[in-house]
Amino acid sequence: MLRLSKKVEYGILAMQYMASHPEDLYTAKYLSNELHLSYDFLAKTMQKLIKADLVDSQQGTKGGYFLARPASEIKLMDIIETLDGRPELVDCVSDNPDKDCEKKTSCLLHDPIKMIQKKVEDIFTGTSLGDIVEHNFVEIETKNY
């Protein structure tokens, strides 16, 4: 139903917080308190962001998380892809051959939906974490296909 998951919501909130505060280390516990998020869920989310190199961590006491790159270089799309997987508006647009729609229909939708999906992706690729923090939204050019 055209919705981002809670994982993405948590991820953006946490990363946005880290991007807009001066300290350099943030524990999961601190972030979950500060943002009123479930500790367990946030911790699990952070680990996925780590694996995708969007966030780095220091283990042990005095450990915590920090952004792996400047906020301006982290696209919303990076976070979404990491936590929700590549968006696929419908199966027919999937790269996965098992979901290939050619078999089920003459796939009248494939091309049009692919173009629409491209536009949606452009929005998330065209918006960085920095833009979110700064409430700075640039014009997004959606090309004519």
Q: Which parts of this chain interact with a second copy (CB under 8 A)?
A: 1-5, 8-9, 12-13, 16-17, 20, 35-37, 76, 80, 84-85, 87-92, 104-106, 108-109, 111-112, 115-116, 119-120, 123-124, 127, 131-132, 135, 137-140, 142-145
Q: Can you tell me the distance from the alpha carbon of 83 to that of 79, in angstroms, rounded to the nearest whole number?
A: 6
Q: Can you tell me the distance from the alpha carbon of 87 to that of 1, in angstroms, rounded to the nearest whole number?
A: 12
For DNA, which is the closer residue by CB, 108 or 140? 108
How many C-beta neighbours within 10 Å does residue 7 have? 19
**Helix, coil or strand: residue 116:** helix
Question: Are 24 and 17 spatial neighbours (Cβ–Cβ below 8 Å)?
Answer: no
Residue from 60, 95, 98, 106 touching DNA (CB under 7 A): that is 60
Q: Is 133 exposed, middle or buried (0-12, 13-18, 19+ CB in 10 A)?
A: middle
Restricting to residues 29-48, which ones interact with DNA according to CB under 7 A?
29, 38, 40-41, 43-44, 46-47
Q: Under the rule (CB under 7 A), what is the footprint of DNA?
A: 1, 3, 5-7, 26-29, 38, 40-41, 43-44, 46-47, 50-51, 57-65, 84
